[in-house]
Structure 1
Amino acid sequence: MLAVLAALPVLAPILRGDGWWTAAAVTVAAVALTGVVVRVLRVSEAVLPLLQAAAGVIALTALFAPGQAVAGLIPTPESAAALLSLAAEGRAEIDASPAPVAAGPVVALVVALGMGLLALLADFLAVTARMPALVGLPLAGMALLVLSVDDQGIAWWAFALAAAGYLGLLGVDSWIRAGARGIRPLGSTGSAARAFGALRRAATAGAVAAAAIALALLVPVAVPGLGDGALFRMAQSGMIGNDAVTTTHPLVSLRTQLADDSGTAVLSYGSDDSDPDYLRTYVLDVFDGENWTMSSLRAGRNTRVGADDRLPLPPGTPRLTGDPVRTEVSVAGDARDVDFLPMPYPALSVDVGGEWFADPATQMVFRTGGGERSLDYRVDSVRPRPSAAELAASGGTPGVDPQYLRVPEDVDPRVAELARSVVGGARTPHERAVALQDWFTGAGGFTYDLRPPPLPEGADPLAHFLLEGRVGYCEQFAGAMALMARQIGVPARVATGYTAGTQVADDRWEVRRSDAHAWPELYFEGQGWLRFEPTPSSGDGQGTASVPSYAEPAPEPGGAADDPGPRPDTAEERPERPDPAGPEAEDPAAPAPGSATEGTGGSADAAALGRILQAAAVALLVLLAPALTATAVRHLRQSGATTDSARARAAWLGLRDEAADLGVPWSPAESPRTIARRLAVEYGLSGAAREAVWRIALAEESARYAPRPVVPRSLAADVHTVRRALRRRVGLAARVRGTLLPRSLLRRAGDVRRAARVRTG
């Protein structure tokens, strides 16, 4: 029961709220305690699972359907139907909601039911089948479930608690098995000695468990690939079914990449544009009231991309105007994980190997299966540079799908009021778009932070971000501006991909994971879809973000840009954001290009140094682990020897282990006197060392055969004396190998248990 309950916090990342804890704990306790009662009463174990399941159902009935039960406890057909209905509703809510799921009553029922089944399985494996080690499989399954649906992973303390519960279960089972074999593991028949032995063994077991848990927590930090969300990416990787394409949720992938401060390169590219634009990967066109998602894509023969084929013009875009740009991209690392191509927008054509498809509505280029480890492709595109007059003449939304103006009915009405207040008297769609953008980057008083404060319980994420918190990163800025644009009549959607990255040569740029970005795309008649940039740039925001020239505010003053909106707690307006073409010239506090503090470079260097130190610490711990383990075994053996026979045996086994570590021949067929004589002759033991080895041999002989063994008190010191003498006689290589790789640990399991067990005569 405790092992299963200790694993409950593992589920916390995928459940929001605390209403599920009690129900799950009560159900687990009902199943486990029923097993105790049934076994005490010696009822046949054949019916035990049925009785435990009945106890779990009673607990769930009392918690979730007491009105349909007898006395609020005894299940009835009506209560069973109610539980089934609630469970179906809870499962549907879990399937439809992204993590973390709000843990209302129906979700809490599903969690409690699952934990009850887990408790029943754990009880069967640990007690009935006497295979407690297998309990680790369902417990690990819980962790795998969380890691596959949530990119943030499991808190270290939750993992440590679950691991401690599992190791505790193994320790208790080992204790019970030892008692069943007639072994007296507590050192003596006296109550005080038994208590002391119990405390000593509990402390030893706790230390071993703590070391194991510490290694499990530290090794993934130091070893690349073990702590970077690989399991999540694998679980969320692209699949195809009924020719509909799904992939990792773009915003989840965005959060994962932004949190990566390692400086890992995603791709590099060459461009004939001296100031390249963003590389767009995904387009999110559906807002459900809380999250932006991507419409389903379909791969068909008519959407396949050919080397000589031009990409379809996006709907509502009569023509592509702007400067022609050629971009040649080379993906870094394993390109088999790339299922959507990062590329400039809008594109004329793309030349890429393999089978790829283009979405006609968005120009997203994707594939439905894995590919080669390397990926290079060329994109011909145009760089839109509409003039202010051209954008001012844009009006209406002919040719664009009405879905880009769709706003869910349950969106907080205060958001629409805020949007209208921000744009004020702006006359054209372009003026309203620029007013919205500048409000986010200036007068709105927003703060860029990759780790915003937790959302208050029950709060609407969008309304809280816009009206109260005003702290977030590009995902919140882009999504909020796109929604507000729709509310003021400008078609909008969210795009994700990468900023232009960092220039590494005259015509070469490198894009890192930390350059991942999200931005809104707004539609203008006659011009098509254009990107805007509401996320603050410079050192206080996305360091490589840039504002396109057409999105700069008009030179004449406008009321919208000066209106901070309903923000009573903002004392003064922020200064205007510096010119993106040269922020260093206007902001003396901005980092110089290429400096260690530019963007995330400083934190990346610090993180890299931290990882190196952590890796060194883990490597040192792993290197010394065998030596520390051997030392702990010897110390346990000696400290637990409370009788003369036990002390003699501990000294003899210590000498045997030292011989094994140093490569000194040792045969169990030889008597103690024969071994002592051979060691003294072959290794030139003399003086104190010769006397010590004979005392150890005669004590072992006396303990084996004498009715009342005669054992000197100096045996522990004698072992140390002989050990030093033997180490002086063998070579340096043997001494180093004997310390770092003690062969005594490789003895068969029975020998190890006997070496570590305290015997009493």
Structure 2
Amino acid sequence: MNEHMSRPVAAGRAGVAGLLGATVVSGLLFTPVFGLAALVIPLLVVALLGYGCYELCARRTALVPWRPILVLVTGLLGLIESVLFATTTGGLPTAATMGSLGRGLTRGWLLTLQSTLPARPDAEQVLFVPLAVLLAVALGLEILLRLRKPLPALLPSLAVAGLAQAYQALTGLTAMLAALAYLAPAGLLLWAGRAARPTTRSTRSTRPGAVRPPSWAGVVLALPTVIGVLAGAVALGGLDPASREPYRLADGHPAPPPPGGLTNPLDEIASRLADPGQEVFRYRSDADVGRWRLVVLDDFDGATWSADTRLQRMGTRLAAVPGSTVDSAEVRLRDSSGPWLPSQPNPVSVDGAAPLVDQSAGTLLSTAGGGETRYTLTWSAPEAEAGRLGAAEVDTRLAGGLGGLGAVPDEISQLAHDAVRGLRPTFQTALQLERFLGENYRVAVGDTLPTGNGWPQLRRFLTETKRGTSEQFAAAYVVLARIAGIPARLVVGYQGSTETEGGFHVVRNRDVLAWPEVAVAGVGWVPLDPTATAGRAERPQSGLDKAATQARHQLPPENQLLPPQLPPGQQEEAGDASNGGGSHPWWAMTAAVPAALVCWLGGVPLAKAVRARRRRRRHGADGVLGAWAEARDRLCAHNVPYRIGMTPRDLAESAGSVLGERAREPMARLAGVLDIALWSGAAVSDGAVAGAWTEVRELRRGLATRPVPARLRAALEPRTLLPRPGRPTSP
């Protein structure tokens, strides 16, 4: 009898150990979020204390009803000693301890969602993971020991695993190894349940800690079920049906801006130049630092420039640009009156401060108040060959490059065309625009400096005074570049200083600078500076600055820049290049009268689907033209005005006025891809075709938000099946 009783007891302990091990592994799936070192100790503490409570209740059956409370209380005490020990007094919890525990329970999950990954393993922030594991341990033990159901006992740990994947999904080999690590203790639990089968009915009914074993059929079904559920939880975040990044909970939880709102450093340039000797900050670095950025402005409504910032709390480290060098600098601000901190385009880490970061812009914002601020910034500095950069295409897919322009004055559009000599959008064209501003406009000096960056001020600068600060130069460059189809954005910051004091470079108000950045395919955002040419200023250069300077020196004279030519060998059939459809199912429109209604309801959507499929199968420039034709026909079906001779950007603005920004933005980006396909003179890559069809999918998503009657009418609109002769014209 003792042998029969010892076997279920040993198997019961193995089952509990398997359950606790599976739950710990589910908590360790948060390793990409916080790192392994921050999680191992608190998770092991929770598991060991949970097992101790199980053994205690197995020996003192009177404590069995209190087991979940014992698990939770001892687990919380263990977390206080292992995570929040610094807030205790001699190991005893204090009011500060309870406050930190409460904040970790209520705010830790949100702070982590708002952070870059890996997040800072601050006690209050990391605490929600072991707390979730503690709750899963308490629930799992009760399901296992009270309900005697091993498989349902795994559900709390699977919930923790799913939560981890929502924060940061594991993919590939890492996901497979994580699944195997979970299945090992889960399999132990199921095996122990089978091994714990008692031989007498009395033993099964009287043993307090015994686990009712599953049947063989249950075991056969259990293992595939556990494997399927865990694999689904791991793969859910990596599922990519539309060529997008895996979904994360963090995508819907940006960090809030600092209290007091955001200032616009662009509006402060003139006032800073009026007091040139005032120190702003100082820095010490072994690297040559050409510029320090404060803010990136990518939206313009005709009156004001704004930043479409997506802020996150700075984690421990961001990924460096592959193949780049990593530099660092110690920065000191005597009075950080504004939230913007001096930064670099690709920050990697910040020590000594916990700022907010916009990764796409490379900007940092302080969450502290005024006063002195000190931090060490590490960043990656990508480089590019001048020859490759000079011949590079622009990248219309980078967000913010082709933002708003407001109501463009008539003469400015012609000025933009003349400035680039009608060239198609390339980086060489961007350099030509920089040369145009540098040679035909001059930097304002003296006591009376022009201010303003809206269309009234830019129109006066471009057509009348031709004199301005970097504020007008940079803003004018960005609007002219966007009109010419070049993706550009405006950056405000400071140029690197040559003045030194006590081993630090001192940056003063006179070093304030605004400059444009152009999106270049395969390189990213490349800084330019038309004021350097206009003012003949020599400034420190590093990274892409040097490559841009070398490409600038290799730029041919204006009289040797050739206007765009049609790509050789591209012959279009009438009505086919713009539609990309070839022959159409005219039988659906000329069927007999009795079948007309059926053909209309079924034939028109089917014909459109077949035509779209044929367009997607095209390659090269024809593939991009097919994407343009598909987007145009969908807009026309939704009553967006279109006429022969409209440029792609004209149609984008027309779509925006009728359907809103969700239709205008993808059309504007598609227009940039189309320009390259028509005017580059080179073969169009499959990546460009895929990018064009990506914008078509974005347009479809925008149209899918329209009311159901409008979408139904568009789906049944037969006139868009008619051929539309003509190739889209250049902007």
TM-score by length of 2: 0.38
Rg comparison, structure with higher value: 1
TM-score by length of 1: 0.36
